[in-house]
């Protein structure tokens, strides 16, 4: 018995050592990119032109004609950057990132990923690797933006089920828009708000796990990889590095050196690390940019396309990004980027926090009192399909810029395939105040429910979010509202849209 036992033990040891050696051997050698991205990237100064070649051999002449950047007067952050570009002789205006998709001109699709002004007062330095006036990205007309079968939506959740911070929008959900802070965290990656410890995070692509938590492969010093206990880095066959951050839990199979498959479970969404205390997946892509530097790839068009392929929505409402202003100064809410499979949105119906309403894709409003407002837009297409989104407006007092009003974040789970009677989990957390309590109105005539989050007093508090459960009795579209006020009576309000299907 004894010798046999010993032999099988040593065999096991040898097999383990061999497999470790094989893994290290394979991983020490950095894989060469095999997949050529469909996108072509060109950085230009105003007045400069360049010929961009697609893999089909077709060449496109691109010239940057002008750049205009509009900054807000609360923080002097770039809120809207517009470039005029000449493409094969045709001129087009593009607004950079901020929830915009590529536009078609002539025989190409084109977007503007970032402009110089963002790099000037960014708290994350030049996260884009841009050293010219603007970065343009081009695809052939009719081409997918990312090769089908190579990119998946990284959270198992409905589109815009909660707050998001995407594509160069200043971070705001955790109350980060503070007037005295002139360094702007333009969110170069994609943040998906979701329910902590409940929403599954999956791999957007096949790839090699370069780091998982604090463990990492050797030989990736020349890369964007910066391991942290809550973070996974994956290298895909395009040579792009993917960062998944703030994870509540990392799946046991996700170890440095492991090959993972698109759609594979990576773990659960959380608020770990530098999340600011709001539960979300931070999903970021970095690649070598034309400057030779590592820089952010704006993944918004890719997740848009991936979601379309996987979930086949009929209609999507887009009322993002959020706005910020001083009380008494006007803001424009814009839902014009809403989308319908059937072509056009026929109706835009707004319902405001003050009980008034309006119609049209854009509305101009002025807020007299500081607070965080959350305005509902319902969009309807020619076939009668409807969708909802919410425009967040943060309003501050110019006379007391350091008296910041509260901010609020809410989520629900699950977000798909909800039937009458299903028990849903609702979580809420308020930021910038520990005064008061949150009050839920689930929008179905049921009694209001009061809870109390910790007000983000302790960022990583496992009980930081206040949790409550609710079930809807009948199918339909419901808007849940939750609000909390600070000691000055300044209120933060947010909404969730819950669709309850027929049984």
CB nearer Zn ion, residue 144 or residue 273 = 273
Which residue's Cβ lies closest to Zn ion?
282
- Provide the 3-class DSSP secondary structure of residue 312: coil
Please, which residue, 230 or 372, has the CB nearer to Zn ion? 230
Contact between 230 and Zn ion by CB under 5 A: the answer reads no
Query: Which residues, at least 6 apart from 233, have a Cβ–Cβ distance to it below 8 Å?
Result: 209, 210, 211, 212, 216, 224, 225, 227, 241, 242, 243, 244
| d(C-alpha 61, C-alpha 10), whole Å | 65
State the nearest-atom distance from the C-beta of 191 to Zn ion, in Å.
4
Residue (282 or 497) nearer to Zn ion, CB = 282
Taking CB under 5 A as the binding criterion, the range among 119-127, 183-191, 215-223, 383-391 that sits at the site for Zn ion is 183-191
Please identify, among the stretches 186-194, 224-232, 265-273, 325-333, the one whose residues bind Zn ion according to the rule CB under 5 A. Answer: 186-194
* Least distance (Å) between residue 199 CB and Zn ion: 15
191 binds Zn ion (CB under 5 A): yes
Binding-site size for Zn ion (CB under 5 A) equals: 2
Q: How far is the CB of 187 from Zn ion (least distance, A)?
A: 6
Residue (166 or 379) nearer to Zn ion, CB: 166
**E strands present in 361-414:** 362-366, 371-381, 386-396, 407-413
Which of 75, 282, 322, 483 is close enough to bind Zn ion by CB under 5 A? Answer: 282
Least distance from Zn ion to the Cβ atom of residue 246, Å? 7
280-288, 336-344, 358-366, 391-399 -> range binding Zn ion (CB under 5 A): 280-288
Cis peptide leading into residue 321 (ω within 30°)? yes
Neighbours of 72 (CB within 10 A): 19
Distances (CA, A) of 51 to 63, 145, 476: 9, 20, 52
C-beta closer to Zn ion: residue 173 or 260: 173
The string of DSSP letters for 419-476 reads: -TTPPEEEEEEEES--SS-EEEE-SSSPPPEEE---TTSSTT-TT-SEEEEE--SS-E
Binding region for Zn ion (CB under 5 A) out of 11-19, 24-32, 145-153, 281-289: 281-289
Q: How far is CA 99 from CA 55, 75, 182, 438, in A?
A: 27, 20, 23, 30
Q: Which stretch binds Zn ion (CB under 5 A): 69-77, 84-92, 190-198, 349-357?
A: 190-198
Pairing of strands 259-260, 207-212: antiparallel
Nearer residue to Zn ion within complex by CB, 137 or 282: 282
- Contact between 243 and 194 under an 8 Å Cβ cutoff? The reply is no
Q: Which is closer to Zn ion, CB of 158 or CB of 282? A: 282
Residues of the shown chain interacting with Zn ion in the complex, contacts defined by CB under 5 A: 191, 282
């Amino acid at each position: 018995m004894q010798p046999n036992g010993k032999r099988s033990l040593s065999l096991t040891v040898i097999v383990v050592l061999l497999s470790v050696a094989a893994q290290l051997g394979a991983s020490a050698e950095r894989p060469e990119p095999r997949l050529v991205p469909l996108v072509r990237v060109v950085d230009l100064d105003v007045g400069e032109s360049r010929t961009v070649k697609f893999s089909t051999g077709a060449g496109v002449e691109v010239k940057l004609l002008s750049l205009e950047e509009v900054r807000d007067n609360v923080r002097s952050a770039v809120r809207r950057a517009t470039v005029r570009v000449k493409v094969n002789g045709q001129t087009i205006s593009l607004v950079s990132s901020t929830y915009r998709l590529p536009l078609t001109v002539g025989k190409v699709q084109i977007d503007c990923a970032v402009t110089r002004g963002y790099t000037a007062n960014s708290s994350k330095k030049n996260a884009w690797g841009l050293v010219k006036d603007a970065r343009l990205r081009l695809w052939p007309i009719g081409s997918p933006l990312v090769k089908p079968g190579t990119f998946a939506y990284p959270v198992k959740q409905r589109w815009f089920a909660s707050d998001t911070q995407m594509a160069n929008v200043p971070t705001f959900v955790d109350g980060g828009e503070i007037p005295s802070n002139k360094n702007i965290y333009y969110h170069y990656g994609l943040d998906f708000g979701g329910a902590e410890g409940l929403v599954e995070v999956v791999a957007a692509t096949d790839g090699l796990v370069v780091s998982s938590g604090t463990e990492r492969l050797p030989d990736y010093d020349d890369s964007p990889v910066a391991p942290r206990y809550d973070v996974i880095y994956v290298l895909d066959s395009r040579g792009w590095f993917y960062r998944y951050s703030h994870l509540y839990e990392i799946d046991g199979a996700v170890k440095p050196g492991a090959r993972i498959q698109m759609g594979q479970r990576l773990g659960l969404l959380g608020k770990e690390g530098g999340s600011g205390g709001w539960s979300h997946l931070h999903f970021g892509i970095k690649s070598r940019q034309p400057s030779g530097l590592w820089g952010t790839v704006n993944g918004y068009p890719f997740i848009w396309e991936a979601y379309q392929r996987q979930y086949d929505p009929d209609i999507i409402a887009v009322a993002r990004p959020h706005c910020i202003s001083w009380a008494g100064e006007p803001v424009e809410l814009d839902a014009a980027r809403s989308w319908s499979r059937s072509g056009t949105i026929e109706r835009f119906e707004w319902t405001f926090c003050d009980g008034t309403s309006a119609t049209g894709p854009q509305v101009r409003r002025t807020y007299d009192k500081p607070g965080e407002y959350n305005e509902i837009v319902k969009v309807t297409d020619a076939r009668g399909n409807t969708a909802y989104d919410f425009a967040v407006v943060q309003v501050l007092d110019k006379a007391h810029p350091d008296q910041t009003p509260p901010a609020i974040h809410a989520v629900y789970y699950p977000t798909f395939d909800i039937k009458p009677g299903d028990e849903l989990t609702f979580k809420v957390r308020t930021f910038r105040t520990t005064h008061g309590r949150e009050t839920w109105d689930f929008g179905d005539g049921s009694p209001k429910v009061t809870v109390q989050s910790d007000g983000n007093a302790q960022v990583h508090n496992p009980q930081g979010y206040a949790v409550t459960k609710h079930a809807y009795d009948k199918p339909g579209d419901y808007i849940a509202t939750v609000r909390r006020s600070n000691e000055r009576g300044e209120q933060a309000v947010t909404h969730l849209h819950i669709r309850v299907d027929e049984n």
